[in-house]
Amino acid sequence: MSKPLLQVIIGSTRPGRIGPSIATWVAGIAAGHPAFEVEIVDLADAGLPLFDEPNHPMLAQYVHEHTKAWSATVSRGDAYVFVVPEYNHGVNAAMKNAIDFLYQEWQRKPVGFVSYGGVSAGTRAVQQLKQITAALRMVAIVEAVYLPFPQTQIDNGVFTPPEASVAAANAMLDEIERWTTALHPMRQV
Ligand SMILES: Cc1cc2nc3c(=O)[nH]c(=O)nc-3n(C[C@H](O)[C@H](O)[C@H](O)COP(=O)(O)O)c2cc1C
């Protein structure tokens, strides 16, 4: 049986963002974890406009090609890590918009968070995301990676955080593995 697919989703889309450096780091750790196949998904590549579907995503009656493509991408995932910055004490708009586009695709799958920002390390964005993902019947993993001022640990695009962040990432991945296994039967009904 093939391993579950963990998608590491880069939540920021702005030119000059640091999201890809952080996503590449956590995807590397996940690739070394025995439980998962790993894929990086970049919201900048998805090219989603502001939500423009006429029907509620619950119906999965998508009319736009960008939504059908986004649906196909997210459907492949068995579990997710959202790599998210904090913008204005909350989740950034591109991430919320990308979540809102879909419904069934997210259901009964675990999601872990790698957040970053200033001294708050993106924790306020994660608290909002826990509320949002609960509405989609996702399971938000308690173990998370919170990164304060990660810019100071990026050199030539390569993010090298302290060992404590590596340990936090592994703890998160172990818990995602448990929930991926536990939720799998619920996705068959
Ligand atoms: C519009 C905007 C709002 C921001 N608001 C916050 C904030 O509320 N808290 C915080 O810790 N950092 C805040 N920041 C700083 C970001 O955490 C930092 O710029 C980070 O690099 C953004 O992620 P990105 O580079 O992947 O886009 C903000 C940045 C932007 C662009």
Q: What is the DSSP letter of 3?
A: P
Domain range 5-187, CATH architecture: 3-Layer(aba) Sandwich (3.40)
What are 30-71's pLDDT values in tens digits?
999 999 999 999 999 999 999 999 999 999 999 999 999 999
Domain coordinates in residue numbering, the chain: 5-187
pTM for the structure as a whole: 0.98
What are 91-128's pLDDT values in tens digits?
999 999 999 999 999 999 999 999 999 999 999 999 99
Q: Whose CA is nearest to atom 28 of ligand 1?
A: 87
Strand spans (E) along 98-189: 110-117, 139-140, 145-148, 154-155, 158-159
Q: Whose CA is nearest to atom 23 of ligand 1?
A: 85
86 sits in which H/E element:
strand 79-87
To test the ligand 1 pocket, which listed residue (12, 26, 43, 86) has its Cβ within 8 A of the most ligand atoms? 86
Nearest to 173 by CA among 114, 108, 96, 85: 114
Is residue 6 within 8 Å of 30, Cβ to Cβ?
yes
Helix runs in 48-137, H state only = 65-76, 93-100, 123-135
